[in-house]
Amino acid sequence: MAEIAWLDCPYGNVNDPYPGQCELYTDTNSNQICDHSEPPLSPMKSFVLWASFVVVALYFLHWYLSHKTTIGKRFKFLSRVWFRYFWNLVLLLSFIPAAVSGVLWVFGVTSFDFNLWHNKAGIIFTIVVALHLLKRFRHILNFPRW
């Protein structure tokens, strides 16, 4: 199996574009960048995978404990009401930093790494919105048509 990214350029180049500065130019993934000069995996891609897994796992574990077991009747924070409250709160708390950093970014306020926090909050927001819409999908399909 061919490597997608190696970061073992003998000249120390990073993201060396086609045709490349040396005779070792190799492009197995057809992205017009020498594979020897590409970083192995961006931290944002790694964050997307981990955030997706953790948020979805926590959501379904919380849903199972609050809807399918009797634990929700014994512990207030695992009741159905608290399930809805908690995930709506996560939805709001992930929307606020994404929205605020996006607006500040548009107006040129860059004293802080808005790109990083905007992207991370936006990813969590998107995952929770997808779960929110999936849960309400049957209500969306039964929406009255005028």
What residues does each domain of the chain span?
1-40, 43-141
Please name the residue ranges forming H helices in the chain. Answer: 43-67, 71-74, 80-106, 114-135, 137-141
User: Measuring CA to CA, how many Å separate 70 from each of 11, 83, 108?
Assistant: 63, 14, 51
**What pLDDT is recorded for position 111?**
65
**The pLDDT of residue 128:** 92
Distance CA 133, CA 72 (A): 23
Q: What's the pLDDT score for residue 127?
A: 93
Sites in the chain below the pLDDT cut of 70: 1-7, 39-45, 110-114, 143, 145-146
Is the pTM for the entire model greater than 0.75?
Answer: no
Q: What is the pLDDT of residue 9?
A: 73
Whole-number Cα distances in Å, 118 to 43, 47, 61, 121, 128: 15, 13, 27, 5, 15
Residue 92 pLDDT: 93
